[in-house]
Structure 1
Amino acid sequence: MKEQQSFVTAPDGVRLAVFEWGARSADTTVVLVHGYPDSHVVWRPIAEQLAERHHVVAYDVRGAGASDAPRRVSSYTLATLEADLGAVLQQVSPERPVHLVGHDWGSIQSWESVTGTALADRIASFTSVSGPCLDHVGQWFRSKLRRPSPRALGQLAWQSVHSWYIGYFHLPLLPPLLWRTAMVKAWPALLHAIEGVPRGSGAPTFPTDAVRGLALYRANMIPRLSRPRHRPTEIPVQVVLPQKDLYVTPSMAGQAPQPYVDRLWRRPLRAGHWAPLTHDAVLANWIDEFVTHIEGGPTAPALQRAEVNRPQQDGEQKEHAGKLVIVTGAGSGIGRATALAFAEAGAAVIAADLNAESAARTAHLASLLGAPRTGSYAVDVSDPAAMEDFAKAVAEEHGTPDVVVNNAGIGLGGAFLDTQTSDWDAVLGVNLMGVVHGCRLFGAMMKDHGNGGHIVNIASAAAYLPSRTLSAYATSKAAVLMLSECLRAELSDDGIGVSAVCPGFVNTAIAKATRYVGVSSSEQEKLRGKADRLYRMRNLPPERVADAVLRAVRENRPVVPVAAEARIGRALSRLSPGTLRAIARADLTPR
């Protein structure tokens, strides 16, 4: 999409360089305001994507890029920057309100207009990325000091550590000298090394932008933080919260605006401060979703979950409120118990099972327990094509999941030499490849979405307890355990946790459904009956496993054994594997 440049003159005579993409005849105009020490260049990847549906505008703020650079610090106050924005809006969209997006200082200065009265009727929505309202920050600091709990003081201290550079930028000589010398080459290299910003993506005017932009801090920080104003707004606001931001903590950025914004959406993003350069596709999608919603179009499921909930009557927020959870094998047993546990915790629940009626029943029960939204799907997890279709349907109808529980599994008992290739195909297809498909499809979706998440794979104590009568089943579960460990290491940088839950003898229908190889059909039924009686005598309810699943997500635990036999077996596998090998020689087939 070709970039078109023009100029607009601010009320005090400063010329601002304005850049546009897409057609002015588009139904919506999106205005992007860059931060420090950037220029409009930081928005190019996002602008080009948004221009497919919107008229997109970015401009170099005064002191940056191709815009004029006044010498006096007083020329960079928030009031002056607001007047600049007003001049730009008058030129690019004189008749219709625009959808404003700001990053870093671009967001800070945009808050001045969003919470003010001069341009309030010119702004349809606001998306803030890594740049809070300075007045809100000042009020947030005061609120924490008025109620100095350990948590509040910890949040204050943590944000203060992250804000060290503000004091440094107020020094008279060192900051501009460092920007002009050592940082010319060091800054792009640091952004690439620390945040993964692509090389060569910065503005060619960076050194002078950095020096001139120091005036932003000197003209505004101390006055606004020391004397914060009450700045409410009725404009819808979407706050993007980069979870690895080195300068703006998610707790402060997420909490500070809430008392002052009537309609607020919060969207965590697994990214650093320069998210527009590292996660441009995600941000472009989120901006488009928000603009579409505000303009009266369909609401994306993920955006719907991001809207800040009103406090409940008891004053407490449910643990998984606003989250989307997928559970496979949800038609009964551990799967159903897990789906219902998440529903009680406030999550939207998607129940998948080979049996469509059972999945639908679980979804119905989840809705009765308070799940804000449910869905059910019939799917064979061992079928790659069916899982592809399932993942696409979930993405289109519900959005990206926050938690995926790969629970579907089947049992198989008997001697290895009696186990046919078809038996191996069946048990590995469901128990292992079903987990692989779920991890691959939904893990990629979570990573692309940039919002983190959690994958729980239901393994078994058999994963580390060898048995001469469970070679195929134990192998499949051991593979699930190792897959979970490997995947946990791979996805940790993306904020996606992976846990393996290893139950013991759980009282579910799996005992009645387990196949035993090498026996007659009549003997098969006897073995199933005896196994079922043993499981019922043990009487470990599936709800215990569901609790363990929620604990695994809450605490991001790598491996969670459930029941005494699972915990003891886990300990023995580490401390005395010889003991387990001796026990494995016993024939534990029900007799």
Structure 2
Amino acid sequence: MSTGDERRRHVRGDGVDLAVYEQGDPARPTVVLMHGYPDTHAVWDEVAGLLAERYHVVRYDVRGAGASSRPFGRRRYTFEYLMSDLRAVLDATAPDRKVHLVGHDWGSIQSWEAACTMPERFASFTSISGPCLDHVAHWTRRKTTRPTPRNIKAALGQAVRSWYIYFFQTPLLPELLWRAGLGRPFARALELGEGVPAREGHPARTLGRDGAAGVGLYRANMLQRLRRPRDRRTTVPTQVIVPTRDLFVSPHLVEGLGARVPNLSLRTVAAGHWVPRSHPGVVAQWITEHITAVRGEPLAIAAERAVRRARVAADRRPFEGSLVVVTGAGSGIGRATALAFAERGAEIVAADLDLPAAQRTAELAGLLGPAGRAYRVDVSDSAAMEDFAKAVLHDLGVPDVVVNNAGIGMAGPFLEHSEDDWRKVLDVNLWGVIHGSRLFAAQMTARGQGGHIVNTASAAAFTPSRSLPAYATSKAAVLMLSECLRAELKGQGIGVSAICPGIVNTAITRTSRFVGRSEEQQAASRRRAARAYALRGYGPDRVAEQIVAAVQRDKAVVPVTPEARISHLLSRVSPGLMRLFARIDAD
């Protein structure tokens, strides 16, 4: 797993010999990777190999782990000794210059201490699954002194995740279990719970000894800092990577961190605790982007957008740095949705069959946020959608949010619908959603950084009507597709929402086809529908707000408008009554 140019040497720490491993050109910027418990430097093998292509990468086994020596006594695992070790490694591998510090688990806890007590040694800091102990103590006190249900739930949740900390305070028992063979079930649990199979170097062959010795880290530091926390702050540009499925560190621990770390960025990834092993490419990419931004070097468009999205600032808009694709963006709900995201800082891709209308949406979006882009695309055309998805990827990168909104209306009796009528409705309303979801979900999955897909269904999806057989069928299929996608993509950190508007005043009433009628009769029906929808007075901007909220809160199904919510409720509690209503001829 390590690259062929890995070089090993020993550095004398504070009373211990530290095994230090280096890769890459020493003349390049130095990145120091700190491992956690009960790991060794080898947990970083994949990440280090990727970073060594452009950086001087330094790793070392902390005291008590791997090939480094083991001190005697709990006192020699305190932060005072750990910081002395780190200074010795820095002096030996990167004298007289700042380094970029990265820590995972206990390596991150140590790194927080270093970034707060000797910030002059570091150009940047990336923390993964290891908070500052002092920050945790202050966070816990804030939660417990304001015992709202939400605060108590968060505090208790972290207390449960920290069960092993209490266990490690038990005399002798943890050491005996590690030496008796706890390493084998630990490795099995890592594979089953995290999807991280064992490989050469990790877990280390010295795991039993490392686990027993490393208990000293918890006994020497944990309770002391949690009881008497210090006011730890740092000016080092800091990036915190938050695995959302971490079984040991709650994502809530980043709350309020910006007050103590003024130059802060937050990134979330749908992963467990051992993210350096499960997602090494993502971790290496984010470290590189963070370092590049700190050094003031140019970034690719997508990377620059991601860095802006991650930055924490009081004036940051909710979707700052996000790329949002909206189909059917030339008017109605699509245009309103594009503008709602733009107003919140997103860069908009407006797609529509009517290119001038899409261009107008992109222009309006640029007045509210970053410059928008317009594309002409027929969502029912699979080849056109393939080209569109590739163009977005090439020009702008992977979208963070995709709103599959394009749709057409069609009304009339089932027996009056021709095969072409059915094909046209399904091609746009259903296949357009399938194409958009399939193509952009594949991009999001390959990127490995999550995202969100919004599919515009309709209240007709759960409201049967004799007047809307094709339209209601297409929207019911969109709703079920969204539910299936949500189940499949959840593990990739990709949310899926189905938006189900009721009667909304949009242009669809003026373009819908009423089958079985003459052109004159259709025009009259369109006018009546448009008047009725206009009198209803529910504008597309209100639907757009619901779409934004669905993305922010990761909602599964969102009935919009009161009648949609009532229909959704009745479809669940009284489907028989809904069937009676379906017999009414709405025209």
TM-score, normalization: structure 2?
A: 0.89
Aligned pair in 2 of structure 1 residues 145, 533: CA closer, same or farther (>3 Å)? closer
Which residue of structure 2 lines up, in the alignment, with residue 303 of structure 1?
307
Partners of 1:271 and 1:450 within 8 A in 2: no
CA contact (8 A) 1:198 1:278 kept: no
| Aligned twin of 2:361 | 362
Partner of 1:160: 159
Per-residue displacement from partner, 1:392-443 (whole Å, max 9, x unpaired)?
A: 4545555544433211111233455554554444322221122112222333
The 1:424–1:163 alpha-carbon spacing in structure 2 relative to 1, beyond 3 Å, is same
Contact kept? 2:326, 2:404, Cα under 8 Å: yes
Equivalent in the alignment of 2:85: 84
Give per-residue Cα distances to partners, 1:85-117, cap 9 Å, x unaligned: 233333333354322111001111112221223
Q: Does 1:125 align with 2:124?
A: yes
Q: Which residue of 1 aligns with 2:381?
A: 383
In 1: Cα distance, 2:564 partner to 2:521 partner: 28
**Per-residue deviation, 1:235:** 1.4
For residue 2 of structure 1, what is the aligned residue in structure 2?
A: 4
Query: Match of 1:484?
Result: 482
Give the match for residue 509 of structure 1: 507
Measure the CA separation in 2 of the matches of 1:152 and 1:347: 31
**Deviation of 1:510 (Å):** 0.8
CA distance in 2, matches of 1:138, 1:162: 15
Query: 1:33 Cα shift?
Result: 1.0
- The amino acid of 2:211's aligned partner reads A
- Report the alpha carbon displacement of residue 511 of structure 1 after superposing the two structures with TM: 1.6
1:341 is the counterpart of 2:340: yes
Q: Offset of 1:374 from its aligned partner?
A: 4.3
TM-superposition CA deviations, 1:33-54 (whole Å, max 9, x none): 1100001111111122223333
Distance in 2, matches of 1:59 and 1:46, equals 14
- What is the DSSP-based 3-state SS (H/G/I as helix, E as strand, rest coil) of the residue aligned with 1:327? strand
Of all paired residues, the percent bearing the same amino acid is: 55
Q: List aligned pairs for 1:86-105, cutoff 5 A.
A: 86-94=87-95, 96-105=97-106
In structure 2, the CA distance between the partners of 1:186 and 1:11, relative to structure 1 (3 Å rule), is closer
> SS of the residue aligned with 1:213?
helix
Number of the residue aligned with 1:462: 460
Shift of 1:305: 0.8
Q: Deviations over 1:18-64 (max 9, x none)?
A: 22333335x33322111000011111111222233333232211211
Aligned pairs for 1:574-589 (under 5 A) are 574-578=572-576, 580-581=578-579, 584=582, 588=586
Q: Which residue of 1 aligns with 2:550?
A: 552
1:15 maps to 17
Aligned to 1:261: 261
Do the aligned partners of 2:7 and 2:23 also contact (CA within 8 Å) in 1? no
Separation (CA, whole Å) in 2 of partners of 1:10 and 1:397? 51
Equivalent pair of 1:418/1:518 in contact (CA under 8 Å) = yes
Q: In the comparison of the two structures, how many residue pairs are matched?
A: 579
Task: Extract unaligned runs of 5+ from structure 2.
Answer: none
Q: Does structure 1 residue 441 correspond to structure 2 residue 445? A: no
Deviates more, 1:155-164 or 1:37-46: 155-164
Q: CA RMSD in A?
A: 2.9
- SS of alignment partner, residue 48 of structure 2: helix
Q: Is the 8 Å Cα contact of residues 8 and 91 (structure 1) preserved in structure 2? A: no
State how 1:7-406 maps to structure 2 within 5 Å.
7-12=9-14, 14-25=16-27, 27-94=28-95, 96-117=97-118, 120-144=119-143, 151-200=150-199, 201-252=202-253, 254-255=254-255, 257-299=257-299, 300=303, 301-310=305-314, 312=315, 323-345=322-344, 347-369=346-368, 371=369, 374-395=372-393, 399-406=397-404
Say which is worse superposed, 292-301 or 358-367, in terms of deviation.
358-367
The answer as to whether partners of 1:62 and 1:70 remain within 8 angstroms in 2 is yes
Distance in structure 1 (CA, Å) of the matches to 2:228 and 2:582: 72
Letter matched to residue 441 of structure 1: L
Q: CA deviation at 1:486?
A: 1.0
Q: Distance in 2 between matches of 1:225 and 1:446?
A: 39
Q: In the superposition, relative to structure 1, how do residues 348 and 147 fare at CA in structure 2: closer, same or farther (>3 Å)?
A: farther
Q: Structure 2: how far apart are the matches of 1:172 and 1:523?
A: 87
Q: 1:406 to 1:261 in 2, by over 3 A?
A: same
Q: In structure 2, do the counterparts of structure 1 residues 573 and 58 end up closer, same or farther at CA, with 3 Å as the change threshold? A: same
CA shift at 1:150, angstroms?
A: 5.1
Answer yes or no: is the 8 Å Cα contact 1:8–1:87 preserved in 2. no
Q: Which runs of 5+ in 1 are unaligned?
A: none
Q: Is the 8 A contact 1:350 1:375 kept in 2?
A: yes
Q: Distance in 2 between matches of 1:390 and 1:90?
A: 52
The DSSP-based 3-state class of the residue aligned with 2:18 is strand
Whole-Å Cα distance in 2 between the matches of residues 345 and 21 of structure 1? 42
Check whether the contact 2:270–2:493 (CA below 8 A) recurs between aligned residues: yes
Match of 1:195, as an amino acid?
E
Alpha carbons of 1:169 and 1:561: their partners in 2 closer, same or farther (altered >3 Å)? Answer: same
Once the two structures are overlaid, the 10-residue window that deviates more, 82-91 or 522-531, is 522-531
Matches of 2:151 and 2:237, distance apart in 1 = 27
Q: Is the 8 A contact 1:463 1:478 kept in 2?
A: yes
Contact 1:7–1:15 (Cα < 8 Å) also in 2: no
Q: Which amino acid aligns with 1:275?
A: V
1:389–1:260 distance in 2 versus 1, CA, 3 Å: farther
In 1, the alpha carbon distance for the partners of 2:455 and 2:163 equals 42
* CA distance, structure 1, for counterparts of residue 157 and residue 571 of structure 2: 41
One-letter identity of the residue aligned with 2:56? H
Shift of 1:555: 4.5
- Aligned equivalents of 1:102 and 1:10: distance in 2? 21
Change (3 A) 1:177 1:98: same
Distance 1:14 1:327, change over 3 A: same
